[in-house]
Chain A
Amino acid sequence: MTHIRRSLTISNETRHLSLVRAVVSEVLDASTFDGKTRNKIIVAVDEALANVVEHAYQGGTGPIELGFDLDPEKLVVRIRDNGVRFEPSAARLTAQIDIKEHIRLGLKGGLGLFLMRQIMDEIQYVHDTEFVNELILTKKQPPPAEAPAGA
């Protein structure tokens, strides 16, 4: 199976989100994920990137570097920035969402990280590399020869 590596750098503007979704979709074309899972992964990457675009440079501008690495076992997505250090608490990383409460209170936000967690196998925030923040999303791929259930 092919090993695919793609990278791109964007400025922290939401207008680039649709371009990045298209790149993720291209990378996933070479994967063994089914269509539904591909769509979900696109959502997870979009959520992660939207958070970085909104918060990393705190109203200023700056670059965001994206890396996609698809090997036979997994997809790894890296989102790197040199903005304000972001270290979510363990509680925030594992918090469950009470959607009924969200509706009762009329809350608009706070759903992105929850979606990312639902979709990806692993979400890691890494610091002290050559970047201030590196967010790593990982999803294991199903084996290519897997027979469909019931076949």
Chain B
Amino acid sequence: MPDLKLRQEMLPGGIAYIEAEGFLDAHTFEEMDRLVSGVFKQNCFRVIVKLEKLDYISSAGAGVFVAAVSRSRDNRGDIVFLKVSPSVREVFDLLGLSAIFQFAETREEAEACF
């Protein structure tokens, strides 16, 4: 199994949907960075990122989301994190990101955040 598995699709309404599985660390964060940058290049700034199967995130991975949330909000969009795994949520909590990021438990709830 690769360290990080990513899947992306476009939802109706111009929302990008990304699923991440595995480890998002200093070894793999550039893959996520490239994927998110590619979405932004298509002028899509409303993004749902499902992290249910993401087992691990380090500050390098969280940093990708910090920069991406900043860029999407600057462009009247946002990133909504769907079904975040407990270990990833723990790191978001430690960094103070849980109070700043948007979270949802269902895809419908996530879509309604925009």
Contacts and interface: CB of A to CB of B under 8 A. Distances in A.
Interface of A: 14-15, 17-18, 21, 36, 39-40, 42-43, 46-47, 50, 53-54, 97, 99-100, 102-109, 111-112, 114-115, 118-119
A111 B25 contact: no
Interface residues of B, number: 27
29 contacts: A14-B27, A15-B3, A17-B26, A18-B3, A21-B56, A39-B90, A43-B58, A46-B25, A47-B58, A50-B25, A97-B96, A99-B66, A99-B96, A99-B97, A100-B100, A102-B66, A103-B66, A103-B100, A106-B71, A106-B74, A108-B64, A109-B59, A111-B62, A111-B63, A111-B95, A112-B59, A112-B60, A115-B59, A115-B91
Contacts of B64: 108
Interface of B: 3, 23, 25-27, 56, 58-60, 62-64, 66-67, 69-71, 73-74, 87, 90-91, 94-97, 100
